[in-house]
């Protein structure tokens, strides 16, 4: 088969590009790091059946809290995605509350990437990893913004300088240098006073969101990667959960 000039040039360029990427993948910076066996314990369906998954999470969270090897059981990876591109973004956040509806975190709702994502997509996921217990919990759900009163109730538990920090940081916007941030902090210290007492309200652009689950998966590491995975799932927020076992 005879290829035209332009087709030949296109194919040659494609091959060049592919061989270039093959070259760079030879330089593996990390390759198959040391692995360890998961063997801690096993999870059985009977332990979960008929239970409220939020209460199961609560039990697991308290076990993680009591484990001295786990410094920050409330750390969780929060993912969001922007539409229409579908571009996904993940970051660590701290779980601050769990109630009978869902998982609550606090953040900048004005300028952060997550806030921007939620304008086009009300779904989010959280993923917890408690290494010494060999447990993962994944949550997928829909976002609800907390009321001003609920946000304020939590905001007032934060140390004074953290409250000032929330005012001073236009989270995830580009700043020129550290000095710019420090000047912003200084101006809010002057506005509110650096020392207690003196009320500092939560900024309007800052607040809590609740992730109300559509799905919660409990993952317990098992030998030879044959982990136990159980998922509580429902189609919408009003339905009851179905419990299913998932292949590892």
User: What is the contact surface with ligand FMN in residues (CB under 6 A)?
Assistant: 75, 89, 91-94, 105-108, 112-114, 171-172
**Quick one: which H or E segment has residue 56?**
helix 53-66
Is the CB of 115 or the CB of 216 nearer to ligand FMN?
115
Is the CB of 3 or the CB of 94 nearer to ligand FMN?
94
Distance CA 138, CA 236 (A): 17
Q: How far is the CB of 13 from ligand FMN (least distance, A)?
A: 36
Contact 215, 232 (CB under 8 A): yes
Q: For 169-198, give the DSSP string.
A: --TTS--S-HHHHHHHHHHHHHHH-SSSSS
Is the CB of 128 or the CB of 230 nearer to ligand FMN?
128
Q: How far is the CB of 174 from ligand FMN (least distance, A)?
A: 12
Decide: helix, strand or coil at residue 169: coil
* Residue 202, token pair as written in the block: 């939560």
Show the CA angle centred on residue 100, arms to residues 228 and 207, nearest 5°: 105
Q: 75 φ, ψ to 5°?
A: -70, 135
Q: How far is the CB of 153 from ligand FMN (least distance, A)?
A: 16
Task: Give me the torsion for CA of 88, 76, 241, 52, rounded to 10°.
Answer: -170
Other CB atoms closer than 10 Å to residue 227's CB: what's the count? Answer: 19
Is the CB of 43 or the CB of 143 nearer to ligand FMN?
143
The active-site residue out of 210, 225, 234, 245 is: 225
Is the CB of 158 or the CB of 234 nearer to ligand FMN?
158
Q: Is 234 annotated in the active site?
A: no
Other CB atoms closer than 10 Å to residue 102's CB: what's the count? Answer: 21
Q: How far is the CB of 103 from ligand FMN (least distance, A)?
A: 12
Q: How far is the CB of 211 from ligand FMN (least distance, A)?
A: 13
Distance CA 177, CA 182 (A): 9
Catalytic residue list: 225
């Amino acid at each position: 088969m005879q290829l035209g000039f332009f087709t030949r040039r296109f194919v040659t360029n494609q091959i060049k590009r592919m061989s270039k990427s093959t070259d760079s993948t030879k330089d593996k910076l990390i390759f198959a790091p040391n692995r360890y066996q998961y063997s801690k314990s096993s999870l059985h369906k009977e332990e979960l059946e008929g239970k409220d998954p939020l209460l199961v999470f609560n039990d697991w969270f308290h076990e993680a809290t009591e484990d001295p090897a786990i410094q920050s059981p409330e750390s969780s990876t929060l993912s969001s995605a922007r539409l229409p591109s579908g571009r996904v973004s993940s970051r660590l956040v701290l779980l601050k509350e769990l109630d009978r509806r869902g998982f609550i975190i606090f953040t900048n709702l004005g300028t952060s990437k997550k806030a921007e994502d939620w304008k086009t997509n009300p779904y989010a996921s959280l993923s917890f990893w408690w290494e010494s217990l060999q447990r993962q919990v994944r949550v997928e759900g829909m976002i609800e913004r907390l009321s001003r009163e609920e946000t304020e109730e939590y905001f007032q538990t934060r140390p004074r300088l953290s409250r000032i920090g929330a005012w001073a940081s236009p989270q995830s916007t580009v700043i020129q240098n550290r000095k710019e941030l420090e000047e912003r902090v200084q101006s809010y210290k002057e506005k509110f006073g650096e020392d207690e007492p003196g009320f500092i309200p939560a900024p309007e652009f800052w607040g809590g969101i609740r992730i109300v689950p559509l799905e919660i998966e409990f993952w317990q590491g098992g030998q030879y990667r044959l982990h136990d995975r159980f998922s509580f799932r429902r189609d919408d927020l009003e339905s009851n959960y179905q419990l299913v076992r998932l292949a590892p």
